[in-house]
Amino acid sequence: MAMKLHGKNFIGSDLSAAGEKTFQAYDPRQGRSLEPAFHETTSAEVQRTMELASRAAPLFRALNAETVAGFLLTIREEILGLGDELIERADAETALGPDRLRSERDRTVNQIKLFAEIVSEGSWVDAIIDPALPDRKPLPRPDIRRMLEPIGPVAVFGASNFPLAFSVAGGDTISAFAARNPVVVKAHPAHPGTSELVATAIVRAAKEKAMPEGVFSMLHSLGTEGSIALATHPDTKAVAFTGSQRAGRALFDAGAARPEPIPVYAEMGSVNPVFVLPGVLKEGTQAISEGLYRSVLLGVGQFCTSPGLIFGVEDEAFRGLVQRLKQMFDEGVPGTMLNSSICKGFAERFKVAAAVAGVDSTVSVRSVDPQRTEARPGLLLTNAATWLKNTELHQEIFGPATVIVGCESDADLVECGRALEGSLTATIHGSPEELAGHRELVDVLGTKAGRLIFNGYPTGVEVGYAMHHGGPYPATTDAKFTSVGATAIYRFARPVCYQNFPEELLPPELRNANERNIWRTVNGRLTRDSL
What residues are labeled active site? 267, 304
Rounded-to-integer distance, Cα 157 and Cα 90, Å:
17
Counting beta carbons within 10 angstroms of the beta carbon of residue 498, is it exposed (0 to 12), middle (13 to 18) or buried (19 or more)? middle
Helix (H) or strand (E) holding 238: strand 238-242
Q: Could you tell me which residues come within 8 angstroms of residue 80 by beta carbon, excluding any fewer than 6 positions away?
A: 105, 109
Instruction: Give the three-class secondary structure for 341.
Output: helix
DSSP secondary structure letters along 157-195: E--SS-TTTTSTTSHHHHHHHHTT--EEEEE-TTSHHHH
Residue 429, Cα to own-chain centre: how many angstroms? 25
Q: How far is CA 292 from CA 51, 359, 387, 401, 460, in A?
A: 49, 20, 20, 11, 13
CA distance between the termini of the chain: 56
Alpha carbons 170 and 207: distance in angstroms, whole number: 20
Q: Give residue 456's identity as a one-letter amino acid code.
A: G
- At position 261, the amino acid (one-letter code) is P
Neighbour count for residue 207 (Cβ, 10 Å)? 12
Distance CA 296, CA 383 (A): 20
Cα separation, 42 vs 434, in Å, equals 58
For residue 377, the Cα-to-chain-centroid distance in whole angstroms is: 25
- Cβ proximity of 322 and 420 under 8 Å: no
- Helices within 393-460 (DSSP H only): 410-419, 432-437, 439-446
Helices and strands in the chain, H and E counts: 16, 23
Half-sphere exposure of 108 (CA within 13 A, CB side): 26
